């Protein structure tokens, strides 16, 4: 009898605690629904407590967030005319006084607690949401996997080589999103690949590495402005292309290189890829073979800290040093650049010295 009474008391305590949390969340504007007005036209009811970025997704407005919603890339900027609350610390860092005067906010930092009236740029809202099933998970190095996804009805939204998609992972506390560059060429509308490096402590990257084949995930996109100029592939007089990647920053370059080499009348293509050890050059054999087949393609790998077992006899040093040694000039060339910020800054300095103007350098840092 005493045992049963104890169980009943515990259950009663848990019930009271749940009621207390529900009431507290409601009083703190963390639960319930509010109205989201978009561009003074579209009105939706959305749940309190989530980020405005997530609420926009639920309302059919898919904003880029290259930093994964950490408030450091500024890609999800929009205007909040009412209901946004005070600026967060990250917003104060990223936004200017002029931005604040014009009601510019970062959607990933604004919490939905009351009715909101927002203004979204039409271009920013042009992406789409779609689902795709994982059909291949291939370990290409100890830390990098190539994941291939099969698209559902309608296929993959049209994208430019070099663009990225965002994967959405529901968690108990909120929906988490991360950005990954599409590494496959744009010709295949039925499937696409992502190159995912497992990061120590990384929630999404490690989850993707352990996602079973056959699982269906939710994406939105495409996003990003690091892609070939419009009609470049159709042009008869193509400028040379310099591709520079650090580590898994090779992913968008794989898509760009595939699109370029499929076009037989392309200009010179130079691919520079830097990594610490040889496993980081996870497509080395492919590009060494491609170099033999495609006469206008040149591959330049660099290792900054090769291991003894790597048996490395190539260039030893940072990729920007190799770029400086091998790139003669920037006349009639464009450049795509993706990798850690320090690497990109070092490469940009060299590119400027070689004659590249800023409007011919397209970049996509991934370590926000």
In eight-state DSSP terms, residue 239 is P
Residues 38, 42, 44: CA angle, nearest 5 degrees: 90
Residue 297 has pLDDT above 50, yes or no: yes
Bridge partner list, 195: 146
Domain contains 180: yes
Contact (Cβ atoms closer than 8 angstroms) between residue 303 and residue 316: yes
Residue 307 has pLDDT above 50, yes or no: yes
134 and 98 co-located in one domain: no
182 and 263 co-located in one domain: no
E-strand stretches of the chain? 33-38, 42-47, 77-82, 104-106, 116-119, 128-139, 144-151, 164-170, 175-181, 191-197, 216-223, 240-246, 269-275, 297-303, 315-316, 333-339, 361-365
Distance CA 127, CA 137 (A): 26
pLDDT one-digit tens code per residue, 6-16: 555 655 555 66
247 and 335 co-located in one domain: yes
> What is the residue whose two structure tokens read 């009621």?
19
pLDDT one-digit tens code per residue, 225-264: 899 888 887 777 788 999 999 999 999 999 999 999 887 6
> What is the residue whose two structure tokens read 């430019």?
160
At which of 171, 192, 223 does a domain end? 223
Sheet order of strands, 191-197 included: 175-181, 164-170, 216-223, 128-139, 144-151, 191-197
322 and 301 co-located in one domain: yes
At which of 119, 154, 180 does a domain end? 119
153 and 244 co-located in one domain: no
For 39, what's the count of Cα atoms within 13 Å in the CB-facing half-sphere?
A: 11
Distance CA 77, CA 93 (A): 13
290 and 327 co-located in one domain: yes
Query: Phi/psi at 36 (nearest 5 deg)?
Result: -110, 115
At which of 119, 142, 171 does a domain end? 119
For the question of whether the overall pTM of this predicted structure is more than 0.75, the answer is yes
Domain contains 230: no
Domain contains 152: yes
Tally of structural domains, the chain: 3
Bridge partner list, 181: 164
Domain contains 137: yes
Domain contains 13: no
246 and 347 co-located in one domain: yes
Q: What is the pLDDT of residue 140?
A: 95
Q: What is the pLDDT of residue 13?
A: 59
Q: Domain of 336: which CATH number? A: 3.40.50.80
253 and 346 co-located in one domain: yes
Q: Domain of 66: which CATH number? A: 3.10.20.30
Domain contains 20: no
Domain contains 9: no
82 and 99 co-located in one domain: yes
195 and 244 co-located in one domain: no
Distance CA 266, CA 260 (A): 7
The whole domain housing 81 covers 33-119
Averaged confidence pLDDT in the chain: 88
Q: Domain of 158: which CATH number? A: 2.40.30.10
Residue 23 has pLDDT above 60, yes or no: no
């Amino acid at each position: 009898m005493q045992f049963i009474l104890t169980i009943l008391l515990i259950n009663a305590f848990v019930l009271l605690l749940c009621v207390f949390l529900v009431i507290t969340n409601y009083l703190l504007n963390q639960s319930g629904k509010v109205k989201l007005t978009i561009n003074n036209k579209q009105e939706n009811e959305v749940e309190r407590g989530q980020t405005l970025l997530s609420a926009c997704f639920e309302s059919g407005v898919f904003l880029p967030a290259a930093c994964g919603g950490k408030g450091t890339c500024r890609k999800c900027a929009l205007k909040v005319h009412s209901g946004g609350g005070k600026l967060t610390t990250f917003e104060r860092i990223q936004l200017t006084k002029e931005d604040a005067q014009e009601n510019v906010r970062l959607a990933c930092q604004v919490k939905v607690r009351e009715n909101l009236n927002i203004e979204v740029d039409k271009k920013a809202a042009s992406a789409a949401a779609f689902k795709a099933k994982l059909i291949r998970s291939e370990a290409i190095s100890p830390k990098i996997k190539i994941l291939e996804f099969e698209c559902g009805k309608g296929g993959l939204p049209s994208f430019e080589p070099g663009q990225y998609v965002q994967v959405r992972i529901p968690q108990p506390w909120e929906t988490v999103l991360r950005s990954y560059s599409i590494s496959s060429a744009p010709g295949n509308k039925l499937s696409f690949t992502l190159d995912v490096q497992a990061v120590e402590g990384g929630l999404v990257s490690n989850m993707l590495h352990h996602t079973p084949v056959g699982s269906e995930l939710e994406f939105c996109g495409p996003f990003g402005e690091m892609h070939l100029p419009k009609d470049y592939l159709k042009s008869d007089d193509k400028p040379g292309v310099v591709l520079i990647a650090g580590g898994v920053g090779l992913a968008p370059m794989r898509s760009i290189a595939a699109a370029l080499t499929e076009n037989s009348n392309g200009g010179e293509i130079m691919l520079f890829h830097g990594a610490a050890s040889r496993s980081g050059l996870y497509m080395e054999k492919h590009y060494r073979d491609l170099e033999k087949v495609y006469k206008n393609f040149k591959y330049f790998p660099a290792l900054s800290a090769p291991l003894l077992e790597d048996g490395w006899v190539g260039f030893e040093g940072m990729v920007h040093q190799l770029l400086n040694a091998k790139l003669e000039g920037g006349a009639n060339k464009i450049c795509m650049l993706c990798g850690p910020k320090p690497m990109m800054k070092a490469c940009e300095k060299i590119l400027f010295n070689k004659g590249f103007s800023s409007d011919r350098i397209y970049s996509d840092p991934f370590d926000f």
